[in-house]
Amino acid sequence: MGSPKPMLRLGSSSVVERVIAAARLLGAPVVLIAAPPSLSEASGPQHTRSLDDFLATLDLPIYRDLEPDRGPLGGLHAAFEQTGSAQILLLACDLPFVTTPFLRFLLSHGPLTCDALVPQSAAGHEPLCALYSISCRASLARTLRGPNLSIRRFIDGLDADVLRPSEYEHLDPEGLVFNQSQHSTGVRACPGPDRTAGRTDRAAGLNVKCSGRDYQRLRGAGVRCRYRRWKAGRAEGDRGWTLSGVCGRRGPRD
C-alpha cells in the first residue's frame, strides 16, 4: 500500500474525510480512534509521522487504543472508555460511500434495548458500520482477553438486532455503502503506489476493481474514473474492470 488507509484519496478528499463529512452532519460528537504511534511504526516511521500529521489536520479529538494490537475491537473499547458515551456509532475509515441519511437511520433506532444494531449486506454482517450499546462492554472486555479478536465473531455472541438490506435499500439504492476492499465480490479498492503527484484532483483517487454489473452501478451513482481496463477470464472472479482515478466527478474518461 502506497499510503496508510485513512489517507487514500477519492477525488479531492481522502476516504476518511468523506466518512467524517457524513458523520459530522448528524450533530453528534465525532472522534478518531487510532493505534498508538509505536505500533504504527511497523509500516515505517515515515508513514507514522505522515499519518499522525494527517490526522492532526482533521480537527477532531484523537484517542489512542488502550488495548494495543486488538484491531477494531480495541478501537470500540477505547471509544467507550475514553468518551464516556452509552452508545457508539462505530465507523471504519474506508467507507467512502456512506451517507448521512444512512447513518441517521441507524441512530434513529436508539437508544438501543439490545447490545448492538448491525446492518447486513450481501457479504454478511457489517460490524464496522454499526451501533453499539454500553451493555456490550463486559462481553467486549472478555473478548479482548481471549485469542479470537474477530469482530464478526464478537457480534455473534451479542444480543444484537440485524438491519436487513430491505430496511435500508431506499437509502442506498445503488448498493454502494458496503462495497469495501475486504469483500470478495463487488467493488474492491486496490490502493497502490501514488502515481498521481502533480496531477489535478480529477486525476487522483482510488484504484478499484469491480464486475461489469457493479461498474454500471457506480456510473449510475455519479462515480467516475479517469482510466479503465477490462480483464477477461474464464472464471467470474478473474474478470472485471480495473478503474483508476476514481472520484465523484466526471473526468476526461468515464
| Cβ–Cβ under 8 Å, residues 58 and 24 | no
Taking the C-alpha atoms of residue 247 and residue 10, their distance in angstroms, rounded to an integer, is: 5
Query: Number of folded domains in the chain?
Result: 2
Q: Is residue 251 part of a domain?
A: no
Inside any domain, residue 183 = no
Which of 134, 168, 202 is the last residue before a domain boundary? 168
Q: Assess contact for 116 and 158: CB atoms under 8 A.
A: yes
Q: How confident is the model at residue 50 (pLDDT cuts 50, 70, 90)?
A: confident
Cell numbers 477494531: residue: 72
The tens digit of pLDDT for each residue in 172-186 reads 988 889 874 433 334
Mean pLDDT of the chain: 79
Task: State residue 239's pLDDT score.
Answer: 61
Mean pLDDT, rounded, for 198-213: 51
Measured between alpha carbons, how far is 170 from 165 in angstroms, rounded to an integer? 9
State the residue range of the domain holding 211. 188-246
Q: Which among 29, 28, 1 is positioned nearest to 15, based on CA atoms?
A: 1
- Looking at the fold, whether 146 and 208 belong to one and the same domain comes out as no
Provide the percentage of residues in the chain whose pLDDT is more than 70: 65
Q: Percentage of the chain surpassing pLDDT 90?
A: 52
Burial of 63-95, coded b for 16+ CB within 10 Å and e otherwise, reads: bbbbbeebebbbbbbbbbeeeeeebbbbbbbbb
Residue 212 sits in the same domain as residue 149: no
Average pLDDT over residues 18-41: 87
Confidence of residue 123 (pLDDT cuts 50, 70, 90): confident
Q: Are residues 135 and 228 in the same domain?
A: no
Q: Are residues 101 and 154 in the same domain?
A: yes
- The mean per-residue pLDDT over the stretch 99-113 comes to 96
**Do 192 and 146 share a structural domain?**
no
Residue 113 and residue 209 share a domain: no
Q: Quick: pLDDT tens for 215-249.
A: 666 666 666 666 666 666 555 555 666 666 565 54
The verdict on 163 and 214 lying in the same domain is no
Evaluate if residue 188 carries a pLDDT over 90: no
162/198 same-domain check: no
Q: Is 62 in the same domain as 140?
A: yes
Cα 106–Cα 19–Cα 128 angle in degrees, nearest 5: 55
Partnered with residue 243 across adjacent β-strands are: 208, 228
In a domain, residue 173? The reply is no
